[in-house]
Amino acid sequence: MATRLVHEMVYEAPLDEVAAMLAAPEFREEVCRNQRATRHAVEITGAVGDLEVRVEMDQPTDRVPSFAKKIVGSSTTIVQTETWRSASQGDIHVTIPGKPGEMKGTAVLVEKDGITTETVTLDVSVKIPLVSGKIEELLAKLLGSAMRAEERTGKAWLARQG
């Protein structure tokens, strides 16, 4: 069984500006820094409407409860890939290499009156007997925090662009 995470990020900008932001390597790198990544690599191929994004980052685990540190160690590598076949919808897959868990889902952009909402829906699954539910909830919580940092970064990014 997986834990479902649904998170909305709201930007005061039209969809095309938000899609362009999500396609900008500089934006993705700024997000990594604001998510406390100790190392990151961003690869983006294609353009808005037909885009492949790959972000690999190392994250410290100092904010992870002790029961989970035994599993993840003092830092962990996260690999996030996104496939966008339109400006408004992408598939997301997040893995933690060497660890028994992953997150799969979608990002959907919807514009109304010049305001764009990005809704990320992810199913978090961990395959560790007895503690999988606890670890899934923890990953969902950490991912929610990471998305709040991304939203803050996006709002500041769009304000600088406008």
Top mean pLDDT of 17-21, 34-38, 71-75 is at: 17-21
Predicted local confidence at residue 26, as pLDDT? 97
pLDDT higher than threshold 70 for residue 69: no
pLDDT digit string (tens) for 98-157? 877 889 999 999 999 999 999 999 998 887 766 677 777 877 888 888 889 999 999 999
Q: What is the CATH number of the domain that holds 109?
A: 3.30.530.20
Q: Which residue has the higher pLDDT, 68 or 47?
A: 47
Provide the whole-model pTM: 0.88
What range defines the domain where residue 156 resides? 3-161
Predicted local confidence at residue 99, as pLDDT? 79
Distances, alpha carbon 147 to alpha carbons 10, 120, 122, 140, in Å: 11, 9, 12, 10
For the chain, give the secondary structure using H, E and C: CCEEEEEEEEECCCHHHHHHHHCCHHHHHHHHHHCCCCEEEEEEEEECCEEEEEEEEEEECCCCCHHHHHHHCCEEEEEEEEEECCCCEEEEEEECCCCCEEEEEEEEEEEECCEEEEEEEEEEEECCCCCHHHHHHHHHHHHHHHHHHHHHHHHHHHHHHC
Distances, alpha carbon 2 to alpha carbons 104, 121, 126, 141, 156, in Å: 10, 12, 7, 14, 33
Buried (b) or exposed (e) across 32-54, using 16+ Cβ within 10 A? beebebeebebebeeebeebebb
Inter-residue contact 92 to 78 (CB < 8 Å): no
Percent of the chain with pLDDT over 70: 93
Predicted local confidence at residue 129, as pLDDT? 67
Mean pLDDT of 59-86: 81
Predicted local confidence at residue 112, as pLDDT? 97
The tally of domains found in the chain comes to: 1
Confidence of residue 71 (pLDDT cuts 50, 70, 90): low
